[in-house]
């Protein structure tokens, strides 16, 4: 029998992507979908591409509606997931696609989010290489509470952590600039997300260390072995509906070579199904990951100035959110990790 699944925030982009992937997963059956303002309306009205789930009606997002399922996915604004999760029993596996359970530091939560800190859950980035050489994957086995990483965080972390772990770059003076599609902001009615404002334009946001993904990235790099990592992180909104292209620059460690840098990433990702290092001289395109649970990584080393630049791309709604959630849940339940997921993108 498949596991019974409920998805909250089902009328949003992240919830919709969860449903798209879950609908084709052989081990999960979506039985309940919930929303806030859209409760009481057919799911198909808000997710018209999900024809296989047209029979579902959005229920109110309450603990009562979500209780009794084997698995509950929470795709809610920050501050909301923690409240719901606390009301669900230990017999339910809860996967939080929001921010409420990512940060271990209550001080960081207070500084960047505010409100109650609900504590950290098992972190859903299986490929994160840790300082001792192990992977975050091990912490997910048997987990019943899983925190899905931020989409920008995933791109930056996967583009820097192996080099940090191997000691081939310095953890100070890290610079990441990301081209980001607006779907990462959710179905939010904001002027800067209107087509008339976005098409033919690009603009930075969350600059000067203010973006909420900053402490999460630093937390991950510390796990990879960084000592007091300093990062300048700048996302730039660009006119592509989904996708992230991260350009990550770092100082080459004394004595390290381009060969050492490539070896660090080869060692980290050699056996990873969803994070792939491109051949030398090849750089990734965000479009090649659309619809796939894939992060592609390219490398460049400028020995003349002692800088390493890595390029990491992914679909913010798949590997950046829903795909990571399902991949992590597969691991937690002992299901083959790649079940229900693909490395093949959609083109053109």
Domain with CATH 3.30.360.10 in the chain: 151-316
Question: Angle 75-77-80 (CA atoms, 0-180°, nearest 5)?
Answer: 90
323-333 and 13-22 helices cross at what angle (nearest 10)?
Answer: 50
- pLDDT tens-digit readout, 147-178: 999 999 999 999 999 999 999 999 999 999 99
Judge whether 295 counts as a catalytic residue: no
Domain with CATH 3.40.50.720 in the chain: 3-150+319-333
Global confidence as pTM:
0.97
151-166 and 258-269 helices cross at what angle (nearest 10)?
Answer: 120
- pLDDT tens-digit readout, 229-264: 999 999 999 999 999 999 999 999 999 999 999 999
Q: Are 327 and 26 in contact (CB under 8 A)?
A: no
Burial 330-347 (b: 16+ CB within 10 A, else e): bbbbebebeebbbeebee
Which of 151, 156, 324, 329 is an active site residue?
Answer: 151
Please report which helix (H) or strand (E) contains residue 295, including its range.
Answer: strand 295-302
- pLDDT tens-digit readout, 291-321: 999 999 999 999 999 999 999 999 999 999 9
Q: Does the domain formed by 151-316 have CATH 3.30.70.260?
A: no
Q: Does the domain formed by 3-150+319-333 have CATH 2.30.110.10?
A: no
């Amino acid at each position: 029998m498949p596991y019974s699944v409920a998805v909250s925030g089902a009328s949003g982009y992240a919830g919709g992507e969860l449903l798209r992937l879950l609908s084709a997963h052989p081990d999960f059956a979506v039985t309940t979908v919930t929303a806030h303002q859209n409760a009481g309306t057919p799911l198909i009205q808000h997710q018209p591409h999900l024809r296989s789930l047209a029979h579902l009606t959005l229920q109110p997002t309450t603990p009562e509606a979500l209780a009794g399922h084997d698995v509950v996915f929470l795709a809610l604004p920050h501050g909301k997931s923690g409240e719901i999760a606390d009301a669900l029993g230990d017999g339910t596996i809860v996967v939080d696609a929001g921010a409420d359970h990512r940060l271990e530091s209550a001080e960081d939560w207070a500084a960047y989010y505010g409100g109650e800190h609900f504590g950290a859950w098992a972190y859903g980035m299986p490929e994160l290489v840790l300082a001792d050489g192990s992977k975050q994957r091990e912490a997910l086995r048997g987990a019943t509470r899983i925190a899905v990483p931020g989409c920008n965080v995933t791109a930056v972390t996967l583009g820097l952590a192996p080099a940090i772990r191997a000691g081939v770059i310095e953890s100070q003076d890290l610079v990441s600039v990301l081209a980001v599609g607006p779907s990462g902001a959710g179905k939010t009615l904001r002027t800067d997300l209107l087509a008339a404002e976005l098409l033919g334009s690009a603009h930075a946001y969350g600059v000067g260390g203010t973006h909420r993904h900053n402490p999460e990235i630093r937390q991950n790099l510390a796990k990879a072995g960084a000592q007091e990592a300093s990062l300048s992180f700048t996302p730039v909104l660009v006119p592509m509906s989904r996708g992230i292209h991260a350009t990550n620059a770092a100082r080459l460690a004394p004595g390290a070579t381009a060969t050492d840098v490539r070896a660090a990433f080869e060692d980290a990702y050699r056996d990873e199904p969803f994070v792939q290092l491109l051949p030398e001289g090849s750089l990734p395109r965000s479009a090649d990951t659309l619809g796939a649970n894939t992060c592609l990584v390219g490398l460049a080393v400028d020995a003349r100035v002692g800088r390493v630049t890595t390029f990491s791309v992914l679909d913010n709604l798949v590997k950046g959110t829903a795909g990571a959630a399902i991949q992590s849940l597969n691991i937690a339940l002992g299901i083959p990790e790649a079940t229900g997921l693909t490395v093949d993108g959609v083109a053109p």
